Amino acid sequence: MEIRQIQYFLMLCNELHFTEAADKLGISQPTLSQQIRVIENELGTPLFDRIGKKTVLTEAGRLFRQYALQMVQQLENAKAAVTELTNQNVGLFRVAVLPSDLDYRLTPLLIDFHRDFPKTKVQVIPSMNIEELVLDNEVDLGVGLAIQPDSRLERIHFYTETYCLFVNERHDLAEKELVHPEDLPKLPIVMYPQGFYGRDLIDSWCAQHQVSIQPILETGSATSLFQFVKENIGVTIQPSQLITHFESLGIRAIPIMDSPSRQLEMYYRTDKYLNVAVRTFMERLRDYFVK
């Protein structure tokens, strides 16, 4: 069995349509059908059921797909290892991060990383579906909220982050040392829309404390939220570490009693080869957040 045939098989798994899979592979439909039959003959069992125009994986096909994905991944790992050895970290590093506040804070880290690995192209992909991107091998590393254990993923906790109330220095609350959950519903709050991790976390925390917030403005941009605070239009609830980026705007962070918090993790596929550039980025990310 050739790796080319395995790649044909995986494309057909994705498309479940012989003509469409063949078009994407750049081969004819009869050629694809013939190559799939070669694999099925070698394995001694059908991998697809062909019911009229519909193509579905058999139980054997689903099982073989798991191993086929591993074989292709191991080949990519081997290529990456050899490339790293011979080309001095020339390559592509893809990292998925939470949109808004987290991707915003990575900028200084990425600048330093580029200086040390100028030949490594970096793609930062803001996403709400980080775990899916990692599992589908569309990114090398995910950086986001803690996820449920998964045998396919290696998970590394690197920071526990609390939240504060951010107010303009001229706001009536600016001199307070602490705010209570019951204070929040009375405030003109600006926040992310529902569906953003940061907003959903705050809504869940509010429900636990039997309070509710009704934002007067919603935007998916951390920079915009802090501009609203700067203009004293409203206040916002954000990760406390963000004060280091926005204090110069005349903004103050006030601790919240029994503060919301979140666990941040890095995760990658257990069968994924991590080159020196990726491992270095992970080490620096951990140091960057705990300094």
Whether the pTM exceeds 0.75: the reply is no
User: What parts of the chain have a pLDDT lower than 70?
Assistant: 84-90, 101, 103, 291
Residue 95, pLDDT score: 94
Q: Are 55 and 18 in contact (CB under 8 A)?
A: yes
Residue 214, pLDDT score: 93
Closest residue by Cα to residue 265 from 113, 139, 161, 128:
161
**Can you give the length of the chain in residues?**
291
Exposure string for 237-269, b = 16+ CB within 10 A, e = fewer: bbbbbbeebbeeeebbbbebeebbebebbbbbb
Residue 85, pLDDT score: 54
CA distance 78 to 62: 25
Q: Are 151 and 270 in contact (CB under 8 A)?
A: yes
Residue 53, pLDDT score: 74
Q: Is 94 helix (H, G, I), strand (E, B) or coil?
A: strand
CA distance 72 to 24: 18
Angle between helices 107-116 and 276-290 (to 10 degrees): 140
CA dihedral angle for residue 107, residue 101, residue 171, residue 215, rounded to 10 degrees: 150
AA identity, residue 274: L
Residue 249, pLDDT score: 87
What are the structural domains, with CATH classification, of the chain? 3-84 (1.10.10.10), 88-158+263-290 (3.40.190.10), 161-260 (3.40.190.290)
CA dihedral angle for residue 58, residue 60, residue 62, residue 65, rounded to 10 degrees: -130
AA identity, residue 27: I
Residue 89, pLDDT score: 58
